[in-house]
Amino acid sequence: MNERHIMIVELVSRKGRMEVNELARLLETSTVTIRKDLDYLEDKGILKRERGYALLKSKDDINYRMAFQYKEKQRIAAAAAGLVEDGETIIVESGSTCALFVEYLAMNKHGITVVTNSAYIAGYVKEGDIQIVLLGGNYQRHVQAMVGPMTKECAAKFHVDKMFTGIDGFSPEVGFTGADMIRTDTVRAMTRSADRTYVLSQSGKLTRASAVPFLQTQEVYGLITDNKLSSDIEEYLKKRGVQVTLV
């Protein structure tokens, strides 16, 4: 995505719905250019079009979450990609930041193999020098991810150096947390196939815990987040051996 695409996503995410003519005026370009941009963003599943408007998708759709804090997610994705070497095999969990991370790998690295439970990632990353191995299992439609016993069994057949995952929350008392019990249980099993687990998350998610305990702090090797992370949480994590990268 180019800078104008990012600006369109930010503008539409603020209002939920914007006219093509208004986007063209705000971005000082033609409606023809904006329509081409919207075609691209619709093809990526980030926005949808309706009678001269650009709209966000349903709140239950992973593409809806992709539209929020897009710049922060891109910076996190780029920093995470710097941890991966050409030719490496890694495990990646589902989620919007993880999808951007895999896309960045595809466009900037060579010979990467990504083992994932995310059908969304498999469909989102359409170009680049990358191989995607999609784990089997029960399909969760709202997040477009595979979960359950079969997914856990498939993941156990791999052993890699690095696993990358998103989270839904955090607190010092319980560690990193998730919102869905089945998905969280599946991803915990996936982390056992990796020597090091990295968390990719916006800093806002680290200010509150969600329902399901996920990873203890000592189980996480590194956290990559935006530079709005509170100094108290940063210090707490570092004291417990987590490598914190702010972008």
- Give the pLDDT score at 71: 84
Average the pLDDT over 64-71 and give the result: 74
Q: Provide the CATH number for the domain around residue 7.
A: 1.10.10.10
Query: Does 145 lie in the same domain as 80?
Result: yes
Give the per-residue pLDDT at 45.
76
Question: Do 207 and 137 reside in the same domain of the chain?
Answer: yes
Domain C-terminal end among 66, 85, 102: 66
Asked if residue 56 and residue 25 are part of one domain, the reply reads yes
Which residues are within 8 A (CB) of 243 and not within 5 positions of it... i.e. 6 or more apart? Answer: 221, 222, 223
165 touches 224 (CB < 8 A): no
| Bridge partners, 133 (sequence order) | 115
Residues 26 and 92 in one domain: no
Residues above pLDDT 90, as percent of the chain = 76
170 and 102 co-located in one domain:
yes
Domain boundary at 66, 95, 110, which? 66
In this predicted model, what pLDDT tens digit does every residue of 170-190 receive, in sequence order? 999 999 999 999 999 999 999
Question: In the block, which residue shows the tokens 């935006």?
Answer: 226
* Alpha-carbon gap, residue 185 to 152, rounded angstroms: 9
Residues 59 and 7 in one domain: yes
Residues 136 and 49 in one domain: no
Last residue of a domain, one of 17, 44, 66: 66
- Number of structural domains (the chain) is 2
Helix (H, G, I), strand (E, B) or coil at 191: helix
- Residue 110 belongs to domain with CATH number: 3.40.50.1360
129-174 pLDDT per residue, tens: 999 999 999 999 888 999 999 999 999 999 999 999 999 999 999 9
Query: Any bridge partners for residue 146, and if so which?
Result: 139
Residue 84 and residue 34 share a domain:
no
Q: CB within 8 A of 122, min separation 6: which ones? A: 116, 132, 134
Closest CA to 166 of 241, 76, 237, 79: 76
The pLDDT confidence band at residue 55, using thresholds 50, 70 and 90, is confident
Question: 50 with 98, same domain?
Answer: no
* 3 state DSSP class of 26: helix
Clarify whether residues 153 and 118 are in a common domain. yes
What are the distances in angstroms from CA 173 to CA 84, 196, 223, 233?
Answer: 31, 22, 17, 12
The strand ranges marked E within the chain are 17-19, 47-50, 53-56, 89-92, 112-116, 130-134, 138-140, 145-147, 160-165, 169-171, 175-178, 194-200, 212-215, 222-225, 243-246
Domain housing 59: 3-66
Q: Are 30 and 119 members of one domain?
A: no
Radius of gyration of the CA atoms of the chain, in A? 18
Res 63: pLDDT: 67
Q: Which two tokens stand for residue 81?
A: 């990609």
Q: Would you say residue 58 has pLDDT above 70?
A: no
* Residues 129, 167 within the same domain: yes
More confident residue, 247 or 66: 247
Stronger pLDDT, 210 or 68, i.e. the higher one: 210
